Chain A
Amino acid sequence: MTSTTAPLVEQFRFGLAAPICLTWELTYACNLSCVHCLSSSGRRDPGELSTAECKRVIDELERMQVFYVNIGGGEPTVRPDFWELVDYATAHHVGVKFSTNGLRITTEVAAKLAGSDYIDVQISLDGATAEVNDAVRGRGSFNMAMRAMQNLAAAGFAGFKISVVMTRHNVSQLDAFKAIADSFGAQLRITRLRPSGRGADVWDELHPTAGQQRELYDWLVAHGENVLTGDSFFHLAGYGQELPGLNMCGAGRVVCLIDPVGDVYACPFAIHDAFLAGNVRGQGGFAEVWRNSELFADLRRPQSGGACTSCSAFDACQGGCMAAKFFTGLPLDGPDPECVRGFGEAALAAANAGAAPRPAGDHSHRVGPRPGQPSRARQPVPVSIGSRPGHPPVSAGLVAAPASMAAAGPGADRRSVPDRACDQSPLAGFTPSAGLDPPTALTQQAGR
């Protein structure tokens, strides 16, 4: 036993035997029509995986030792077989964390959920007040979510998650969200608004301003240890300090998405043919897609930083979020649209907004496209990911090894804890367990 292994983040770039953080959207059906829905949900897709097909996927996840899945939608609880599938998963050693708007979290359901170690619940809330929340999620949705949380708390379900997408209208409510979470004994989880799904239509109006991004960063520096973020905000590391959480893009490496019809995408924010790796109905099922798809192989090779490589912040932010760039029409090897150095704004100004690729499916309740928005357009888009011959493998050294590495024994890595990989409902979070690792440890801890 000699080799000193690279920091885990470096290991993660090459992909894992199975995802840590797998998001599975069970249905596109939803009782709400949130304006920023990343999967453009609303109506059920007739090609949705059947109960039997879902169980086959679960069997496969058990064999691959995917310890838990993050189930979302749509509103997953509207599937008539939802509880059957949850029970099946937990009976097969696949833990479930599901995201819900609270619709079906009655006192009876809350009591059942509180009794299982294998189930975790995440309630979506995008405003700390009904006014702010309902403007995005629809009238009555705030009260529905609060009622669900009251039921969970009353049933003794400790530590459920409250999941907030950060927008221009709720960054100022961060303390209020934290207070709500604390009042229920819940944990706050915040994620980044992506221009994915219907989010593409509202991103310009809703994404946080540059000033708010700084406010958010400062808040996370002060409070981040107890707040889950997934890999949402690694682009903010460009301000100077790495935030708690996974400071890398996990797409296709530690994270992926299975959509309601079985399509496997690199991440929950990238529902587009350019990021489609395969389908679980194909020969070899999900495992084949995860292990052998060309797209994922490409994502696991060193990536080109392109125009960002010479920026002093690149080691920290790595150019930001692939999906955010893609759906705002920016090149994947350039700055994030919310680049903290301001390069994104310049790039957006130079890009032809009308040429930005549209998200793939649209299951929205509304019929007909929004004015000026061809909602079903599937234009071919040139996409390049991965390195080209002659490009140096830029990922080497992207993340500085923590100081403790130098003195550490084989493979110890205390600080750059990829504590919380991924996002949407995903790996939603590892929480770091403070103070556990002595500098010589060969292990690294994380909770979810």
Chain B
Amino acid sequence: MQATPAETGAFDLDAAWRLHPQVSVRPERFGALLYHFGTRRLSFLKSPALLTVVKSLDTQPTARAACAEAGIGAAELPAYAGALATLAASQMICGRTAA
């Protein structure tokens, strides 16, 4: 797993990402709950748009494309990259080549 990007806030928006296969997503009014059965950790997505991004990671060529598809503007992109970095650090999402 790639823990280091989160520490710096950096995130490779141009890589292909996916939801970790052991993670379940439950939509909620405020966004969503994510639960990782392997680490037994919960994450809260605090925006419905972030949920849209996370759900489309699998089918979009890059995280940047997933954000664009979800209507995330340039000004908001850094915040979303930061959120994705956090999710990557906690193994909620992973690189598509990794398991």
Contact = CB atoms under 8 A, between A and B. Distances in A.
B42 A442 contact: no
Specify which of B39, B41, B72 lies most central, judged by the most chain A CB atoms within 10 Å of its CB.
B41
Contact of A409 (B9, B27, B79): B79
A110 to B, nearest CB: 18
Contacts of B30: 5-6, 8, 11, 411
Interface string A391-419: 00000000000000000011111000000
Interface in A146-177: none
A444 B24 contact: no
Contact of A438 (B9, B41, B90): B9
B43 interface: yes
B21 interface: no
For the residues of B in contact with A, the DSSP-based class is mixed
Interface in B41-89: 41-50, 70-72, 76, 78-80, 82-83, 85-87, 89
Contact of B78 (A65, A118, A440): A440
Contacts of A17: 26-29
B41 A442 contact: no
A188 to B, nearest CB: 16
A437 B79 CA distance: 11
A443 B87 contact: yes
B7 to A, nearest CB: 8
B24 A67 contact: yes
Contact of A445 (B7, B43, B76): B43
Q: What band does the interface of chain A fall in when counting residues whose beta carbon is under 8 Å from B? A: 35 or more
A9 B91 CA distance: 24
B21 to A, nearest CB: 12
B95 interface: no
A102 interface: no
Contacts of B86: 436-438, 441, 443, 445
A126 to B, nearest CB: 25
A433 interface: yes
Given A17-B26, A442-B80, A411 B39 contact: no
A446 B41 contact: yes
Specify which of B6, B7, B26 lies most central, judged by the most chain A CB atoms within 10 Å of its CB.
B26
18 contacts: A1-B48, A8-B46, A16-B28, A17-B29, A68-B35, A95-B40, A409-B79, A409-B82, A410-B47, A411-B50, A438-B6, A440-B83, A442-B46, A442-B80, A443-B83, A445-B43, A445-B44, A448-B40
Interface of A: 1, 5-6, 8, 11, 14, 16-18, 20, 65, 67-68, 93, 95, 117-118, 120, 409-413, 430-431, 433, 435-438, 440-448
